[in-house]
Structure 1
Amino acid sequence: MDRKTKIALGGGCHWCTEAVFQSLKGVNKVEQGYVASHGINSNFSEAVIVHFQPEKISLKTLIEVHLLTHKSTSNHSMRIKYRSAIYTFSEVQQKEALSLLDEFKSKSDSNIITQVYPFSAFEPSRNEIQNYYRQNPEKPFCKQFINPKLQLLLQHFSNYVNEDNIKHTDQK
């Protein structure tokens, strides 16, 4: 079965998050932009929607990658713009994400602040910054902030990394 599903993830700059998830096998598409939930979290925050094939990469692996590649333990002053979150598209997915997050929290020495919220709305980024890393791998921002995250992927999740998608890193 070639089933596809999606999850939205936010935590840091969406250029970084987009590059990280575009680098993974089993990820078909990454939509970069701004995501909102409900209630006090109804304001938009930088995030991506990751379309993936669960038979190739699990929700557990995606959440683990997400926690590793952004400051999931830091409640810094920019958290409104960069909400540390997992946005779910169904009640079943929400229960699974909460369970997985609890599992990761119980195994962590640090206080993971990432929360699970129901997805409400998405606004895409403007076209000129879509696929930012793929279009600008030599820019200082990419070298300073994105390449180290891709290096973390290679160190911790090499069997899930599509190396053709990270060929710009000088740290391979």
Structure 2
Amino acid sequence: MMHSSHTTKLPGSATEGVTKLAEITLGGGCHWCIEAVFQRLSGVIKVEQGFAQSAPPCDSWSEAARVSFDPEKISEEQLVRVHLHTHSATKAHSLRGKYRSALYFHNHNQQQRLTEILTVLGIEFSELLITQILPLQGFKATPAQYQNYYQTDPDRPFCQVYIAPKLEKLTRLLEDDKS
């Protein structure tokens, strides 16, 4: 099931006034980590972590997050940049199938934009990016009790060991962008 960018009016909610909502699905290690990073970005409306599936040969389900955002407040390029800098976008490891570094496109136009963005942002890294641009074939959210994982209990050992360092990277990245 592909999701495309769409226009939505959201009256009477935290997103009131948002008239255009876009989506991007990101794979990059643990979905709890991706979720925690993107929940902190201004312009991000919703982050739902779960599992993404693409087309063969990358059709195994991998951990990912679907990010809904207001493109008038944060761009797709800014989201991809944060994503690349807050996970191992240049390192291969034995569990890369389950934790693949990927940008899942929801439609052909997004595929073209993501390809251009990845090319432009690649110069920020001293090593070659292994991040793939893949068609999103399906997305399964994790059960409700696992959503908002870091926000629910940031003192969990997993949160302190794996998520907190990514949030520190995010803070440094945003500070660098201001200067």
Would the TM-score normalized by the shorter structure come out above 0.5? Answer: yes
What is the CA–CA distance in structure 2 between the aligned matches of 1:43 and 1:62, rounded to whole Å?
A: 24
> 2:173 maps to what in 1?
156
* Equivalent residue pairs, number: 160
2:151 pairs with 1:108: no
- Which structure 2 residue ranges, 5 or more long, are not aligned? 1-17
> 2:14 maps to what in 1?
none
Alpha-carbon contact 1:2-1:55 (below 8 Å) kept: no
What is the CA–CA distance in structure 2 between the aligned matches of 1:159 and 1:69, rounded to whole Å?
A: 14
Of the candidates 36, 42, 48, which is equivalent to residue 25 of structure 1? 42
Amino acid at match of 1:67: L
Identity value in percent: 44
2:103 pairs with 1:78: no
Query: Could you say which structure has the higher helix fraction?
Result: 1
2:57 pairs with 1:40: yes
SS at structure 1 position matched to 2:57: helix
> 1:164 maps to what in 2?
none
Alpha-carbon offset, residue 91 of structure 1: 0.6
Alpha-carbon offset, residue 127 of structure 1: 2.0
Change in 2 beyond 3 A, CA 1:23/1:107: closer
The correspondence of residues 45-60 of structure 1 with structure 2, limited to 5 A, is 45-60=62-77
Alpha-carbon offset, residue 106 of structure 1: 3.4
> 2:148 maps to what in 1?
131
2:25 pairs with 1:11: no
> 2:163 maps to what in 1?
146
- Which structure 1 residue ranges, 5 or more long, are not aligned? 161-172
TM-score (norm 2): 0.85
Alpha-carbon offset, residue 2 of structure 1: 3.3
CA displacement 1:28-68 (0-9 Å, x = unmatched): 00111000111211111000000001110111110000001
